[in-house]
Structure formats: structure tokens, C-alpha cells
Amino acid sequence: MAKRIDVSGLAAYYGTHLAIDDISMSIEPRSVTAFIGPSGCGKSTFLRTLNRMHEVTPGGRVEGKVLLDDEDLYGPGVDPVSVRRTIGMVFQRPNPFPTMSIYDNVAAGLKLNGNFKKAELDGIVEKSLKGANLWNEVKDRLNKPGSGLSGGQQQRLCIARAIAVEPQVLLMDEPCSALDPISTLAIEDLIGELKSQYTIVIVTHNMQQAARVSDRTAFFNLAAVGQPGKLIEIDDTERIFSNPTVQATEDYISGRFG
Amino acid sequence: MTDVTLDKSPVDEAPVPTTGPLRQPRLPNWAPYGIGALSVALGCGIGLVAGLESRIQWGLIAAALYVVVTFALTTTVEGSRQARDRLATSLVWVSFLLAVVPLFSLIWETVARGSKVLDGTFVSHSMNGVITLQPGGGAYHALVGTLEQIGLASLIAAPIGLLTAIYLVEYGTGKLSKAITFFVDVMTGIPSIVAGLFVLAFWIIYLDMGYSGFAGAMSLAILMMPIVVRSTEEMLKLVPNELREASLALGVPKWRTILKVVLPTAIGGITTGVMLAVARIAGETAPILLLVFGSASINTNPFDGAQSSLPYYVYEQWKLGNEASYDRAWGGALLLIAFVMALNLLARGIAAWKAPKSGR
Amino acid sequence: MSIDSAPDTAAPPPAPAGKAATKQNLRPGDRVFLGLARGSGITLLVIMAAIAVFLTWQATKALTENEGNFLTTFEWDPNAEPPVFGIAVLAFGTVVSSVIAMVLAVPISIGIALFISHYAPRRVATPMAYVVDLLAAVPSIVYGLWGALFLVPHLTGLYEWMDAYLGWTGVFEYNGGAARSLFTAGILLAIMILPVVTNVSREVFKQSPKMHEEAALALGATRWEVIRISVLPFGRSGVISASMLGLGRALGETMAVATVLSPSFMIETSLLDPGGGTFAQNIAASFKEASPAGIGREALIASGLVLFVITLLVNGLARLIIARRKEYSGANA
């Protein structure tokens, strides 16, 4: 059920400011693609154009094409709500709904999308929590608020919430940057398991993480502050980290800037 | 952080054939406007045909039609989730209109009917000797009364309010400041008529003083104090602590630090707060009714004898119940609104002008 | 009590620390200034206490002479021999008109608050916020004048309508004549408390965490679903306290009710027919007839005391909810 993404000539604006320009790339299904690059290079902005979250920021505007298995996300008649329903997202800071229980958090997306019987819901919630490696830790307190969990558990809860609606693609915006090393490891393991079913795109500041979890890596950079961010290169992770074609990539990876 | 503006309708033309799972049948972009226009037309049509004399009914019919038609159309075309979304959107828009319509009606009526009488004579003459059934006379006496009463009230309330706020922010940590904070909140909620009754009980009944502008000013001061305290407090809290510490570290005594460093930094915001409070009490009628008693002639001495005030004048002229006095009431109301709005705009102007320098 | 030591701990100890901590060592300027500031605060407390004391005292004078039952008598005749007066009609009218105002104003206020915080584009939202502030700044007597001379004549049609379709309930019967009823007062009060409720709700909605809104959006929620899932649960207690503040306003409003209501000392079953009264309206309307010789004024003070206590309770409750909320959100920050 995972789908491939083809981006061509994509540019994103904040008002009149051009944040990213002329990005084209393909994202393979059932694999992990990592976006790396210095701060402000537009990798998060680019991620948010992939499920039409960029346009909820005031002034946010996108030009270009994003094809999800040949269907343009920005084509006429496409409903952004359906896009986001199809392409799930996990954010930098864990953000379970504070007024909802663990169970309701996982079921939140499902409840929006139609009538499920209680038994069906129970099944999906359990499956999603198991899929997020959280089931054993929370199965006895499903009706407690999600805000009572630790940071790492909350982030896995958010992943469970995202996969409960069975998306085609899972976008992760620095999902581990607010977590301690042990929780980070748990999430990284989880990403490794999830890639058999989903197309996963992850933005990360941590190059070791990109090397550990991803199959392909895209490097973004910007010429100068105020200039739009651009895609420098995208290749197999191994290539990027051992033998990149562009000098800037090597400089960044070897820690010479950024 | 900027706030989120949620989905705008995508830039698309009329419904496109549904090819993929991402495409939902959607109403065209102009649909809300179309339905809106249709509802207004139908509302007026039904109103005219059924001979409903009140425009309120026309508007309500149109609003109800808009909500219902939008909901029905969306349900059939876009599905129930979208329909609920559109229902919420249309209800939000309708409530927005429901709030704006009375305001514009009120401003329109006041300006249209008040400008008939508001002229040089109106602001320079009292009602002394004017036969109330006939046009003529003015609100000069009321204007004088209002200015004196709010002036006196500000003289009482502004220093007390200011000093109380200083106490709460700069000194207060203990039980006394907690008690004061609580009772300031309580005081904000006192109905103006109760403040009037208190001064009546204390000043006029107990101390056996007569009706006077000063009695009214005391009750206005009671209403003004908590507003001044609240706004001043907010402004003082905005003054960065580093500023205080820098001054204290130079060996400047605390009281001079407050007077020379803290207050000047916050003065713009404090002035705004005081002016808004003045605008607020300038429109109070109830306490004036009980304590100043009203008068048709000019009395420039607020400490002795009955006076009038603009809000009271409006009430009194309305109560007389004839066309000439109604006109005068509207004239007074226009004068009052203009005064209050001018104070408001001036206060906001000061706030906007001072904002970048104070604050952070 | 820690108040005495508070200023000293707040000020940095000058020179030797041991001496500085005592009150005597405050500079004269500091002592005077602190005295003034604290004195002002205490003045405020004294005023509040005086309000309670004087109102109660004068009220007792009237109540001891009252021959009717203060709570149940349907009459206001404190100047008669013997004086007879009761607040039954006033309590009923005050509660009914305020409840009508709440029922009308709260949903609309929530709508406007959401409009400003989440629906309108910014170039509409900012002027709209100003418009709401302007509504708040209009003096109540102007609302009253507009209500009496513009709103009342325009409501007759609506009332005939309500009579035709809802008259069977008994509550919405309308027998013609000027629409100077408790319902009209409620409508006018609704317009007046709208800005209060809207402003507080708007502030709360604006604070709704963006990350929860985005979480809902990313799950494929429509705009309304985002609001239902993340904004409304977050703002619920804020909206409740906003409504209570509005209620406090409506309960004590004098002039707007005094101008649109045609009072009587009867309880009408139909809200659309003229009659009834409220505490504040009755004080304004009966004051000039209350001669200083009898206990007319004291009787009005007694009814004012009841109003005072009711508004205190309502406002206290609203503040309590707000304070709770602050603690809650502070703990989570």
C-alpha cells in the first residue's frame, strides 16, 4: 500500500519570500528517505509541502508538482484534507491531544473518518499501538491521558496515531530531536520496522541518525541567508556518506560547516 | 509564532472528474457567495411577499436559508464531513454578521439622528427655560457636568489606582497584596448602580450631604479604580526586571528607581489604561441618576447642588418622550459617543506610539 | 505576616547586610513611598468593606420596617403606611433577562471569537477585533436609547412571528403593543455582553497550542474538526469564565433595561409581553419617587445589596475558574 512520490520543479513561499526553489526528486516506496542539511535550508518546509501542511502557515504558497503514484497533490480538485489523511505526519515535539486518553488519541483520526464499531476500533488501536512498539507499556492504562507518558512514549503514541489511519506515506519532522538517547533508539528501531509497510521520509539534524535509519539521503543547502534552499543531491545513503558527488555535501558531512 | 489560518479552498475551477482517491467532489469556489446572494434575495422576497414589516425577520430568514442551503448542498455534493465543516463556517460567518449589524445600525442611527441637532447652539446652551416640547436648548450644562465629574473621579481614582498597582507589582508578595488583588477583581464586577447606592448610603443618607457632582464623582471613582489598577499592573509587569536591577545596582533607592526608571518606561501604557478607564466611566448613567440628580441649568460648582451629565442628559431627554426631546437625546448620544470614541482612539494611538519603546 | 519583610527582600541590601534587613533602615524616601503605595491598596480594601457595611446597614433599616415578605412579596411600596416591598418580581426579571442574554450571546460570541482567531484572514481579523472593542466602548445609555427608539419598534414583527409559531409554549405569547418586554431587554443585554464574552474567548482560542492544531490537521481533519478536537477542549474553561463575566455584566446593567422595559410588579408567564423588572432597573425607575422621608431609598438599597451579592458570587466563580485554568496551564508549560 505504500506509494512513491515524484516531485518536480517545486518551490515554496512564505508570503513573498521564496523559501525553497526548484526541487525535483523521487522518493521510493517501502524505504526510508532522510533529508539532511544546515538549519534554514528548507528541509522541513519541503517536508511540509509533501502533505500540503505548508499552506496552513499564513502566506504559505507552493508551486510545482508533487505526484503520489501519478496523482498530483496540488492538482485541481484535490482536497488537502484527503491528502493529509493519506500522508501521515509526526512532528518534532510529541503532540498527543492533552484532553484525550491514550485510546482516544490513537482513535482520533479514525473517528473523523467514519463509523467504526467499538470492536473494530479496539482492534485497530491495539494493532497501531503494537505497530508503534507501545502496546506492552500502555495496555493497562489506555484510558489515562496521553500527556502522562514520557516524551519517548508520547512520540510513539503520535506515531501510533498516525499509522492508525493506514496512510500511504509517513512524514517525520525531526521526530527524535526532543528525546533522550534511549527513546531515540526506540524510535529508530521502530522506523526500521515500519519501512516494510510505509514510504517514510524523515528530516533530521543528526547525521548518524540519517546514516543509521535511511536507505536514501537527500542533502539540502542554501547559497546564503535569505537565498532559497535547494536540493544539492540525493543518492543512496551509503554513497552520500562515503563518496558524495558534490563537494558541499562532503564538507557538510565531514563537519566542515553547518 | 504566527497563528494558523486553516485550509483555504484550493485554487481550482469547477468540479473536476473524480479520478483519484485524493479528489473529492467539491462545490465550486463561488458557491458560498452564490448561496449568500440567493439567500439574501429569497429572504427579502419572502419578507416582501409575506408582508413582514420588520427587517430583522428578513435578515433572520436569509441567515437561516444560507445555513440550511449550504448544509444541504454540501451534504449531497461533498459528503457529511465537509457539510459539517461548511455548517460551522457558515454559522461563524452568520454570528459575525449578527454582531456587526447592530453596531452599524446603532452608529448609523446615532449619527443620522444626532447630527440633526448637534450644532454650535447645542454645545453652548443649557436646557434652562427651554420648553421641552419644542426644539432648541442644548447640552452645555451636561457637558460641563460630565467633564467636572470625570475630572474629579480621575483625580481620586488615578493616584490610588496607580499607587495600588505599584504596591502590587513592586512590593507586594504577602497576604495583603493577595487580598488586594482579589478585591480588585471583585471591584471590577460591581454594577455601577451598586457603586451609586453605596455613595448614596454613605454620603447622602449617612453624612447627610446634598446631591452634587462630587457625590457622582466618588461613585465613578469606585468604578474607575479597579480598571486603572489592572491596566497599570499589566504595564508595570512588562517593564523588564534587568532595568530595575541595573538602577538598584547603581545605588539608586527603590522609590527613585520606581519613579525615574519603572514609571517612565511604562508611562505610555499607563496613560492608555487611565484614558480607557475615563472613557468607560464617562458613559455611566446610573450613579449620576442617584447622586447628581440632574438639572436643566448650568451649575459649574461640582461640590454644591445638582448637576447634569451627558449620559444623564440622554436619559432625561429620552424620558420626556416627545420628538423634540428625542432629537436632543440623539444629539447628546452622538456627543457622548464622539467623546468616548475620541478618548479610545487617542488612548490606542498613545499605546501604538509608545509600544515599541516600552515592552521588550 | 510576610508583608513587612517583603519590601526588604525585594530591595538589594545596601552596604552591611545585617543592618539592612530591618525596617528602621529604610530610607525616609522609601518609607514614605511604600507607605503611600500600601496605603492606597488598603484604601481600596476599606472602600470594599465600606460598601458591604453601608449597604447592609441601610438595608437592615428598611427590612426591619418592611411589613411584606422581602423575598416573596409582589409589590414595591416602601413609602406606604405600613411599607410593603419584596424582590420576587425583580429577582425573576433579573435572572430571566440575563439568561436570555446569555443564551443569545454566548454561542454568537464563540462564533465571533473563532471567526477572529481561526477563520478570518488577518486583514479582516484585526479590524474585526477593533469593531468588537468599539462595541464594548459604547456607553450603556446609548444602547438604551437605540434599544428604545430603534430596536423596540423593529421587534414587533419578530414577536408576532414567534407568537404564531412558538406561542403554544406559553412562554412566547405576544398580545400586541410595544415590544417593551423582558425578552427585548435580554436581546439588548446580549448585544452589550457580546464584546466581553468575545474578547475573553478570543484570547483563549488564540492561545490554543499550534502543535495540537497541526496534529489534527495532519490526521486529515477539516477546519471544523481541528477546532472541535484541539481548540474547543482547550478553551472550554475559558469560555465558561468568559460567559460568567458576561453574566455578571448583564445582571447589573441598569440603563439599557430601564429604557426598553415597561415595568410592572407582576410576573408574566410570557416573556414577550411587557412587564416585570430587574433589580437595577427598579432602582433607577423608582428612585425619584423614593422620598427621603420614608424608607424608599433604604428599600432600594436593600434590593441593591441582593444584586451586589449575586454579582459577587457570579464574578467570584468566573475568577475562580480563570485562576484554576492558569494553574493548570502553568503546570503544563
Q: What is the mean pLDDT of residues B25-31?
A: 78
State what percent of residues in chain C have pLDDT above 90: 42
Residue C24 is predicted with a pLDDT of 52
pLDDT beyond 70 at C3: no
Q: Does A1 contact chain B (CB < 8 Å)?
A: no
Q: Checking DSSP bridges between strand A71-72 and strand A60-68, what pairing results, if any?
A: antiparallel
Whether B220 and B281 have beta carbons less than 8 Å apart is answered as: yes
Q: Do B54 and C214 touch (CB under 8 A)?
A: no
pLDDT grade for B226, boundaries at 50, 70 and 90: very high
Show residues of chain B in contact with A57, CB under 8 Å: 2, 4
Residue B7 is predicted with a pLDDT of 47
What would the grid cell of residue C86 be? 419584596
Q: What span, in angstroms and rounded, lies between the C-alpha atoms of B173 and B43?
A: 60
Nearest to C199 by CA among C252, C136, C127: C136
pLDDT grade for C327, boundaries at 50, 70 and 90: low
Neighbours of B155 (CB within 10 A): 12
Q: Find cell 483519484 and name the residue.
A: B20
Compute CA distances A225 → A9, A254, B42, whole Å: 21, 21, 56
Residue B21 is predicted with a pLDDT of 65
Q: Find cell 519532522 and name the residue.
A: A173
Can you name the residues that pair with C217 across neighbouring β-strands?
none
pLDDT beyond 90 at C294: no
Q: What span, in angstroms and rounded, lies between the C-alpha atoms of C132 and B345?
A: 14
Nearest to B196 by CA among B218, B219, B217: B219
A210 phi and psi, to 5 degrees?
A: -60, -45
Three-state SS for chain B is CCCCCCCCCCCCCCCCCCCCCCECCCCCCCHHHHHHHHHHHHHHHHHHHHCCCCHHHHHHHHHHHHHHHHHHHHHHHHCHHHHHHHHHHHHHHHHHHHHHHHHHHHHHHHHHHHCCCCCHHHHHCCCCCCCCCCCCCCCHHHHHHHHHHHHHHHHHHHHHHHHHHHHHHHHCCCHHHHHHHHHHHHHHCCCHHHHHHHHHHHHHHHCCCCCEHHHHHHHHHHHHHHHHHHHHHHHHHHCCHHHHHHHHHCCCCHHHHHHHHHHHHHHHHHHHHHHHHHHHHHCCCHHHHHHCECCCCCCCCCCCECECCHHHHHHHHHHHCCHHHHHHHHHHHHHHHHHHHHHHHHHHHHHHHHCCCCCC
- Amino acid present at C240: I
Q: What span, in angstroms and rounded, lies between the C-alpha atoms of B43 and B318?
A: 34
Q: What is the mean pLDDT of chain B?
A: 86
Q: Do C107 and B95 touch (CB under 8 A)?
A: yes
Of A82, A89, A98, nearest to C218 by CB-CB distance is A89
Q: What span, in angstroms and rounded, lies between the C-alpha atoms of A257 and A249?
A: 10
The CATH homologous superfamily to which domain B140-354 belongs is MetI-like (1.10.3720.10)
pLDDT per residue as tens digits for the range C71-114 = 888 888 888 878 888 899 999 999 999 999 999 999 999 999 99
Q: Do C214 and A109 touch (CB under 8 A)?
A: no
Cβ-based contacts under 8 A for chains A and B: 56
Q: Which of B322-331, C93-102, C266-275 has the lowest mean pLDDT?
A: C266-275
Q: What span, in angstroms and rounded, lies between the C-alpha atoms of A164 and A158?
A: 10
- DSSP state letters, A189-226: HHHHHHTTTSEEEEE-S-HHHHHHH-SEEEEEEESSTT
Of A57, A79, A113, nearest to B26 by CB-CB distance is A79
Can you name the residues that pair with A230 across neighbouring β-strands?
A221
Q: What span, in angstroms and rounded, lies between the C-alpha atoms of C216 and B33?
A: 28
Residue A1 is predicted with a pLDDT of 61
Q: Please name the fold of domain C88-328.
A: MetI-like fold (1.10.3720)
Residue C10 is predicted with a pLDDT of 41
Q: Which of B78-82, B340-344, B345-349 has the lowest mean pLDDT?
A: B78-82
Residue C331 is predicted with a pLDDT of 36
Q: Whole-prediction pTM value?
A: 0.86
Q: Which of B340-354, C9-23, C242-256 has the lowest mean pLDDT?
A: C9-23
Measured at the CA of A170, the angle between CA A240 and CA A168, to 5 degrees, comes to 115
Residue B228 is predicted with a pLDDT of 95
More confident residue, C224 or B8: C224
Residue C21 is predicted with a pLDDT of 40
Instruction: Return the domain boundaries, chain B.
Output: 31-113, 140-354
Q: What span, in angstroms and rounded, lies between the C-alpha atoms of C206 and C209?
A: 8
Say which residues have a Cβ less than 8 Å from residue B253's Cβ, sequence separation at least 6: C27, C29, C30
Torsion of CA B324, B327, B328, B332, to 10 degrees: 170
CA distance B250 to chain C (A): 10
Show residues of chain A in contact with B12, CB under 8 Å: 76-77
pLDDT per residue as tens digits for the range B256-285 = 999 989 999 888 889 999 999 999 999 999
Show residues of chain B in contact with A91, CB under 8 Å: none
Query: Which parts of chain A have pLDDT scores under 70?
Result: 1, 257-258
Whether C278 and C257 have beta carbons less than 8 Å apart is answered as: yes
CA distance C296 to chain B (A): 12
pLDDT beyond 70 at C332: no
Residue A11 is predicted with a pLDDT of 93
Of A56, A86, A113, nearest to B5 by CB-CB distance is A56
Q: Which of B3, B4, B22 best probes binding to A when mutated, by most A CB atoms within 10 angstroms?
A: B22
Reading phi first (left if > 0) and then psi (alpha if -120 to 50, else beta), residue A88 is in beta
C positions 215-244 inside 8 Å of A (CB): 215-222, 225, 229-230, 233-234
Q: What span, in angstroms and rounded, lies between the C-alpha atoms of A48 and A74?
A: 13
CA distance C71 to chain B (A): 19
pLDDT beyond 70 at B55: yes
Q: What is the mean pLDDT of residues B343-352?
A: 86
Q: What is the ipTM of this complex?
A: 0.88
pLDDT per residue as tens digits for the range C139-168 = 999 999 999 999 998 888 888 888 888 888
**At what angle are helices C232-252 and C88-114 packed, to 10 degrees?**
140
Q: What is the mean pLDDT of chain C?
A: 84
Burial class (CB in 10 A: 0-12, 13-18, 19+), B356: exposed
Q: Which of C4-18, C60-74, C155-169 has the lowest mean pLDDT?
A: C4-18
Residue C258 is predicted with a pLDDT of 93
Show residues of chain C in contact with B280, CB under 8 Å: 137
Q: Do A161 and C219 touch (CB under 8 A)?
A: yes
Residue of C nearest to B334 (CA): C142
Q: Do C111 and B54 touch (CB under 8 A)?
A: no
Measured at the CA of B194, the angle between CA B188 and CA B200, to 5 degrees, comes to 130
Q: What span, in angstroms and rounded, lies between the C-alpha atoms of A87 and A1?
A: 12
Q: What is the mean pLDDT of residues C165-174?
A: 85
Can you name the residues that pair with A233 across neighbouring β-strands?
A219
Q: Does A112 contact chain B (CB < 8 Å)?
A: yes
Name the interface residues of B facing A (CB cutoff 8 Å).
2-8, 10, 12-13, 15-16, 18-24, 26, 81
Residue C319 is predicted with a pLDDT of 80
Show residues of chain A in contact with B5, CB under 8 Å: 56, 58
Residue of A nearest to B12 (CA): A76
Compute CA distances C309 → B194, B224, C93, C303, whole Å: 10, 20, 17, 10
Burial class (CB in 10 A: 0-12, 13-18, 19+), A245: exposed
Reading phi first (left if > 0) and then psi (alpha if -120 to 50, else beta), residue A237 is in alpha
Q: Does C211 contact chain A (CB < 8 Å)?
A: yes
pLDDT per residue as tens digits for the range B155-213 = 999 999 999 999 999 987 888 998 999 899 888 889 999 999 999 999 988 998 889 99
3-class DSSP state of A16:
coil
Residue C133 is predicted with a pLDDT of 83
Can you name the residues that pair with B107 across neighbouring β-strands?
none
